[in-house]
Amino acid sequence: MNYEINMHLNDIAVIRLFGELDHHETEKIRTHISKTILQGNLTTIIWNLERLNFMDSSGIGLILGRMRELSAVDGQTLILNPSNTMKKIFQFSGLASFMMEGTEADAILHARGIVNG
């Protein structure tokens, strides 16, 4: 398994991706997270890409698709710690404003509207 999903208070999902994310892995994650979104409590997905080495176009589609599903419930998405190569891909995809660097705890606080500093 190349991913972990941790729930925080049932409304924030932190998805950690590891190694390589290809079409096969993308399908497993899509099924899992879409079920969670459809249950109605999820308001935020934080994609932690810190340990992701490679992502093909299906990975971009995975993130964009979940963003669309979450938008139906006014949800939000954060892309945490993407590699430099992935940053460029996300910028070209119009997702630069969803990226951030930091810890998962920082991202959870940010998602809840709590800003440090």
DSSP for residue 80 = E
Number of H helices and E strands in the chain, helices first, is 4, 5
Tell me, what's the pLDDT at 1? 60
Tell me, what's the pLDDT at 93? 85
Element (H, E) at 69: helix 57-71
- Which structural domains are found in the chain, ordered by start? 2-112 (3.30.750.24)
What does each of the 117 residues of the chain score in pLDDT, given as a tens digit? Answer: 688 888 888 789 999 999 988 888 898 888 888 887 777 788 899 999 999 998 888 988 999 998 988 888 888 999 999 999 999 988 998 889 999 999 999 999 999 887 554
Element (H, E) at 88: helix 84-92
The span from the CA of 109 to the CA of 111, in Å, is 5
- pTM of the full predicted structure? 0.90
Tell me, what's the pLDDT at 115? 59
